[in-house]
């Protein structure tokens, strides 16, 4: 489906079902992008925390997991 940006017609000039399809497509893209950004942020934060841990900290975490 063509994006709204590619369309030469304004959304108010479209038929209601076509306009709704465009709106739903845009919303889905925004949700997908937002969720990817949130996941990226979590992963980056976790890797930064892990990088800050010392070797002793890692050993104690491993020991706690094994117990």
The rounded distance, in Å, linking the Cα atoms of 3 and 66 is 52
Tally of domains in the chain: 1
What dihedral angle (degrees, nearest 10) is formed by the CA atoms of 11, 17, 21, 26? Answer: 30
Phi, psi of 4 (to 5 degrees): -65, -35
Instruction: Tell me whether residue 26 is in a domain.
Output: yes
Residue 52, pLDDT > 80, answer yes
Find the domain containing 50 and state its range: 13-66
5-44 per-position pLDDT tens digit? 555 667 778 888 888 998 899 899 888 999 999 999 999 9
Who's near 12: CB < 8 A, 6+ residues apart? 19
- Residue 1: pLDDT band with limits 50, 70, 90: very low
Instruction: Tell me whether residue 47 is in a domain.
Output: yes
Query: For residue 41, what pLDDT is reported?
Result: 92
Instruction: Tell me whether residue 48 is in a domain.
Output: yes
Instruction: Tell me whether residue 31 is in a domain.
Output: yes
Who's near 22: CB < 8 A, 6+ residues apart? 1, 3, 4, 7, 11, 14
């Amino acid at each position: 489906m063509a994006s709204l940006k590619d369309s030469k017609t304004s959304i108010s000039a479209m038929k209601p079902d076509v306009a709704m399809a465009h709106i739903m497509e845009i919303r889905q893209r925004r949700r997908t992008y937002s969720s990817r950004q949130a996941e990226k942020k979590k992963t980056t934060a976790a890797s930064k925390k892990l990088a800050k841990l010392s070797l002793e900290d890692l050993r104690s975490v491993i020991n706690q997991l094994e117990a």
